[in-house]
Amino acid sequence: MPFKRYAIQMKLSEIGKAGQEKLSLAKVAMIGVGGLGAPLALNLAAAGIGHLVLVDGDQVSLENLHRQVLFTEEDIGKAKVVAAKTHLSKRNSEIKISAYAEFLSFQNISQLLSEVDLILDCTDNFHARFLINQYCVEQKKVFVYASVDQWRGQVALFTPKGPCLACLFSHVKDGLFQDCSQSGVLGVTASVVSNLQGQVALHWLLFQKDFSALFLYDAKKLQILSYKIQKQKYCEVCGEGVKERSDEVIFKSWNEVSRLMQDAPDQNILIDLRDAPTDALKGALHIPMVKILNGATAFDKNKTYILYCEKRIKSPFVREVLRKQGVAHVYVLQERVDQ
């Protein structure tokens, strides 16, 4: 392996030749090549990550160039991953770059991420974040979460033995950030958060040190704070909640739900948590998960709620959130058979 390109960083005693070889052998997936992913991709390519896997179904647009510093005006209208691969290859021709111009989904996540060593969540999509989290918990993979909103940013490392993203959001009330295009952000703020995410990623690849901490960046105060993330025993994604409470009925069949709604429609409420369903769920109220978690919807503690989402990724987590708010009767629809 040619070392001249990386000679300066290899002077760090903690890296050296052995550390650089670790980076050159690493296969890292980046989900999202936007405000976080674009500057991060530049730094990871420059650091010599052997194989970068870029996943993003979006295109480059003019209004995003202020923070997506990897791209130029000539890239407007092009697929982000295609333009990114072109620029990154020019900066470092010694690494491999795989580009997938598609959004992460239930259907493609295993195919795209099964062989990577580390996953970087650079999305501004809450559904994608929880899909990544669920997949990493099930497949025992490591990922670094990052988000940015206005003047604030968050970064955290999640490993198989530690807490997961659902553990974090179960007790961080303001952990849900909006899309940057809706709330606004400075390019430099996104870059600082991106660099912090990159530092955490390289730290893991080099040292494999597990630390369950949430890093909070405040651009107004020019301050970075860190908090320990506690693993939640009854987390519906990684905890022992379902296993230890096996006597508690969590799932409802479609037949049970139909009977409940028929007998007392005002008392038993079916909620569709999907963001933008193309096929309506019979008898359900459509309330996207992010509205519930941001407190935009009020729930009657005396009523019964049945939650639905595809693959049951969102519904167990939302159930846990509602139960902590004092809603006693919350269930998950086991399967959909109304079609």
List, run by run, the mean pLDDT of 10-residue segments along the chain (339 residues). 86 96 98 96 98 97 93 96 98 97 91 96 86 92 95 95 86 48 82 97 94 92 93 81 51 83 90 82 86 81 88 74 84 70
All domains in the chain, ordered by first residue:
4-228 (3.40.50.720), 249-333 (3.40.250.10)
Cβ atoms 334, 299 nearer than 8 A: no
Residues 6+ apart with CB under 8 A from 146: 36, 120, 121, 122, 153, 154, 155, 156, 193, 194, 196, 197
Q: Is 332 helix (H, G, I), strand (E, B) or coil?
A: strand
Among 247, 153, 230, CA closest to 195? 153
pTM beyond 0.85: no
The CA distance from 226 to 214, in Å, is 5
| pLDDT for 339 | 47
The CA distance from 76 to 68, in Å, is 11
Q: Is 37 helix (H, G, I), strand (E, B) or coil?
A: helix
The CA distance from 307 to 66, in Å, is 39
Angle between helices 187-207 and 37-47 (to 10 degrees): 40
Among 227, 230, 203, 208, CA closest to 217? 227
Residues 6+ apart with CB under 8 A from 181: 63, 64, 124
Q: Is 138 helix (H, G, I), strand (E, B) or coil?
A: helix
| pLDDT for 239 | 81
Q: Is 213 helix (H, G, I), strand (E, B) or coil?
A: strand
The CA distance from 270 to 241, in Å, is 23
For 46, the token pair is 């420059």
| pLDDT for 288 | 86
| pLDDT for 338 | 55
Residues 6+ apart with CB under 8 A from 198: 40, 43, 44, 47
| pLDDT for 84 | 98
| pLDDT for 289 | 82
